[in-house]
């Protein structure tokens, strides 16, 4: 499912216009991104938890040449599914 299909589904399920559903989805993603940039986490009970994880520096390989390259440490977004998403 892409963003347009998700907007359509949200609009249909919530009885909103597609414009309002897109605004709501954009607001949600913006709030999640800003919160994670502050190293906070978002817990939606039953749905899941958005958090930041630190990925350490490591050595990788250039797939073309096979020579080693250094990959910098960085922070990455992480999502852990809650009980409602466990199948």
Structural domain containing residue 78: 39-87
Beta bridge partners of 15: none
Which residues, including other chains, have CB under 8 Å from residue 54's CB and lie 6 or more apart? 73, 74, 75
Same domain? For 51 and 80 the reply is yes
Same domain? For 59 and 79 the reply is yes
Residue in the block written with tokens 């020579």: 67
Average pLDDT, the chain: 95
Q: Give yes or no for a contact between 36 and 50, defined as CB atoms under 8 angstroms apart.
A: yes
Read off the pLDDT of residues 35-72 as tens digits, 9 standing for 90 and up: 999 999 999 999 999 999 999 999 999 999 999 999 99
Same domain? For 17 and 32 the reply is yes
Same domain? For 17 and 51 the reply is no
Same domain? For 43 and 24 the reply is no
Q: Does 87 score more than 90 pLDDT?
A: no
**For the whole model, what pTM was predicted?**
0.77
Same domain? For 51 and 87 the reply is yes
Q: Which two tokens stand for residue 54?
A: 């630190």
Per the structure, how many domains does the chain have?
A: 2
Read off the pLDDT of residues 76-85 as tens digits, 9 standing for 90 and up: 999 999 999 8
Same domain? For 44 and 84 the reply is yes
Residue in the block written with tokens 């907007």: 7
């Amino acid at each position: 499912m892409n963003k347009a299909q998700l907007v359509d589904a949200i609009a249909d399920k919530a009885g909103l216009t597609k414009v309002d559903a897109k605004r709501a989805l954009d607001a949600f993603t913006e709030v999640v991104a800003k919160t994670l940039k502050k190293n906070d986490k978002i817990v939606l009970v039953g749905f899941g938890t958005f958090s930041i994880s630190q990925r350490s520096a490591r050595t990788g390989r250039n797939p073309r040449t096979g020579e080693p390259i250094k990959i910098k440490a960085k922070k990455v977004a992480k999502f852990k599914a809650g009980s409602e998403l466990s199948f």
